[in-house]
Amino acid sequence: MIFQDDIVNFGKAYAIATKDLAEVFTSIEIYGPMIGVPMFFAVMLPVLTFYVTQHSAGSVLSKLISTPASVAGISASAGLIFMTFFSISVLGPIFLTMPILTASVIAADSFAGEKERKTAEALLSTPITRSELLLGKIIASFVPTVILTVAVFAVYGYITNYLSYQIFQQVILPTPTWLMMLLSSPFLAIATIGIVVLVSSHVKGVKESQQISTLLVLPILVMPFAAILGIADLSVGFFGWLIAALAVADVLIIYLGVKSFRKEFML
Amino acid sequence: MDRAISVKNIAKRFGGTVALEKVSFASERGMNIILGPNGAGKSTFLRCVDGLYRVERGSVSVLGEDPYRNDQLKEKLSLLTDNYALYDYLTVADNLRFFGRLYGLGNAETMNRSREMLERLDAIEYIDRKVYGLSRGTKQKVAFCRAVLNEPQILLLDEPTAFLDAHSAEMVRKVLAGYEKEGKTILFVTQKLDEVTRFNGKISIMSHGRIVRETTIDGLYGVILRNTVVNFRLARPIKKSTAMRLPGFVEANAEAATLLKFRVGDYRDVSKTIGELLAEGGKIVSIDYMEHLIDDLSR
């Protein structure tokens, strides 16, 4: 129960969530780019990494990485170090933007979309509580985001392993760091959804809502550069702290979002 | 239920725009109509009664409860807005099943009620079609079906027949007449005088965010047909010279007249003129008049 005065009928929350998901997944124009683009990158980026590894790993490695990458017990050949470093510390954060981008698309459509398409009036005229509405819409944004992120990590992990095995007869992923990175994605998704709820009173449409919530990708995109420059070590410890910080931020953002949310914001 | 809706001195603004100012209203059993031009505040008023908007001043009571704070009240209440508010990418059936679930209805019950209503409105053939491909009229029928899904005690309607053909509009009116007979409360906002005169209920005229007059169909005709020219169409002509002797004669379309214009002081004169034309052997097939602008009524 989110509010003392609110009753949650999970059947109604579930109905809202399934309706939102049905809306997203009935039109290929909506779900096609949302799934297709990340999947394309999940294939292409490991292939590019493999190409660079084969042709110029040594020189790139000596220029980019000032300190020897201590990569979890894997053979110290330059190519393998490069491919491991790049697959985890560069591609990992890039794919970590997935939960933010996907959650922002679905959540913005779910909240601001009702306002934009003027369907909110009928929805809010039914006997649903604020908690049922928020719960339904948060589920509708969270579940596909996590599934899609796991799928993208699985595809990019598989391609990376397949390619690394071709040259080094070794698989690279998963490593504990990579798994921690994946574990942080639900927390990023919740933060994104919380921001969409928070800004729902101030935005007029889906685009505005998306633009504000996708600002979260900026700190994530700093990670690869920080790793390359040796400023940050994207280790298990780093992601442990990141998850802890995100968990606190999620509670705060969701609390503020839920507390400030009024149903008429959707009108 | 008498006085199912009681609104006292409410105000609502959007930014600097005053939408409602000092509006008070008490519903009566059956049909209650709010008539007013575009921008009068009718739709905002309806949304305040439905509890979608929080009023800034005054109070709204529906069945003795505040609709803004009591979500469960909406099990007994329903709103049909003027923009259909249907989910375009879902089928008609999926839309109705979704709303049925929010009203706590099972899918079978929802579909039974929906099929019955869609059949009455001649829209059953669209039940498995996605909403985005439907005409405006069909969307309005589906939206009406959704609005009565929960068999509400109070039905709030915003121009429910605006895009319907004559037959479908008549079907909707019959459904509403059935609701009236059951003693339910209907609050209907419109800008169409013609629509208002099809019902016999309490009429409130709204202008610039205020209810400026409360009247009845009798009172409304008293205004509409005050010092107005009325056309009488005849199946069997009468001589123009005969018509000219009748009080209020204005003009005739021919020596053997089938269209006559008379000026009436008020609507009671229409009956007198009909009697006189019948006495002269005229066979009247229709009577019409130039409809007033709603803005004139609210002055």
Q: Is A27 close to B71, i.e. CB distance below 8 A?
A: no
In this prediction, residue A29 has a pLDDT band, given cuts at 50, 70 and 90, of confident
Does residue A65 register a pLDDT over 80?
no
CA distance B38 to B240: 42
Q: Least CB-CB distance to B102: which of A12, A263, A264?
A: A12
Closest CA to A122 of B115, B158, B185: B158
pLDDT, tens digit, for every residue of A175-206? 999 999 999 999 999 999 999 888 876 787 88
Residues from A contacting B (CB-CB < 8 Å) are 9, 11-12, 15-16, 19, 22-23, 26-27, 117-130, 262-264, 267
Q: Is A12 close to B101, i.e. CB distance below 8 A?
A: yes
CA distance B49 to B10: 10
A122: Cβ contacts below 8 Å, ≥ 6 apart: B79, B81, B85, B86, B99, B143, B146
Closest CA to B58 of B25, B34, B84: B25
pLDDT, tens digit, for every residue of B4-59? 999 999 999 998 899 999 999 999 999 999 999 999 999 999 999 999 999 999 99
Mutation target vs A (from B52, B88, B92, B102; most A CBs, 10 A cutoff): B102
Mean pLDDT of A42-56: 86
Comma-separated ranges of CATH 3.30.70 domains in chain B: 228-297
Comma-separated ranges of CATH 3.40.50.300 domains in chain B: 5-222
Q: Is B99 close to A126, i.e. CB distance below 8 A?
A: yes
Strand order in the sheet with B57-62: B17-26, B5-14, B57-62
Does residue A76 register a pLDDT over 60?
no
pLDDT, tens digit, for every residue of B228-274? 889 999 998 899 999 999 999 999 999 999 999 999 988 888 999 99
pLDDT, tens digit, for every residue of A123-164? 999 999 988 999 999 999 999 999 999 999 999 999 999 999
pLDDT score of B195: 87
In this prediction, residue B2 has a pLDDT band, given cuts at 50, 70 and 90, of low
The more confident residue out of A153 and A109 is A153
Residue B103 touches partner A, C-beta closer than 8 Å: yes
Percent of the residues in chain A that have a pLDDT greater than 70, as a whole number: 90
Residue of chain B nearest A110, judged by CA positions: B87
In this prediction, residue B276 has a pLDDT band, given cuts at 50, 70 and 90, of very high
| Rg of chain A on CA atoms, in Å | 21
CATH number of B228-297: 3.30.70
Helix A236-260 and helix A176-199, axial crossing angle in degrees, nearest 10: 20
Percent of the residues in chain B that have a pLDDT greater than 90, as a whole number: 76
Does residue B289 register a pLDDT over 90?
no
Cα distances (Å, whole numbers) of residue A243 to A95, A157, A182, A196, A229 = 16, 21, 10, 20, 23
pLDDT score of A4: 41
CATH of region B5-222, choose from 3.90.1300.10, 3.40.190.10, 3.40.30.10, 3.40.50.300: 3.40.50.300
Residue B88 touches partner A, C-beta closer than 8 Å: yes
pLDDT, tens digit, for every residue of B244-257? 999 999 999 999 99
pLDDT score of A59: 66
DSSP per-residue letters across chain B: -TT-EEEEEEEEEETTEEEEEEEEEE--SEEEEEE--TTSSHHHHHHHHHTSS--SEEEEEETTB-TTT-GGGGGSEEEE-TT----TTSBHHHHHHHHHHHTT--HHHHHHHHHHHHHHTT-GGGTTSBGGGS-HHHHHHHHHHHHTTT--SEEEEESTTTT--HHHHHHHHHHHHHHHHTT-EEEEEES-HHHHTTS-SEEEEEETTEEEEEE-HHHHHHHHTTTEEEEEEEEEEEEHHHHHTSTTEEEESSSEEEEEEEEESSTHHHHHHHHHHHHTT-EEEEEEEPPPPHHHHT-
pLDDT score of B197: 84
In this prediction, residue A232 has a pLDDT band, given cuts at 50, 70 and 90, of confident
Q: Is B90 close to A23, i.e. CB distance below 8 A?
A: yes
The model's pTM is: 0.84
pLDDT score of A228: 84
Percent of the residues in chain B that have a pLDDT greater than 70, as a whole number: 96
CA distance B281 to B284: 9
CA distance B260 to B244: 10
Mean pLDDT of B127-146: 95
Mean pLDDT of A66-83: 60
Tokens of A244: 């802890």
Cα distances (Å, whole numbers) of residue B180 to B5, B175, B177, B190 = 15, 9, 5, 18
Average pLDDT over chain B reads 92
Mutation target vs A (from B99, B101, B151; most A CBs, 10 A cutoff): B101
Amino acid at B47: R
Tokens of B85: 């508010």
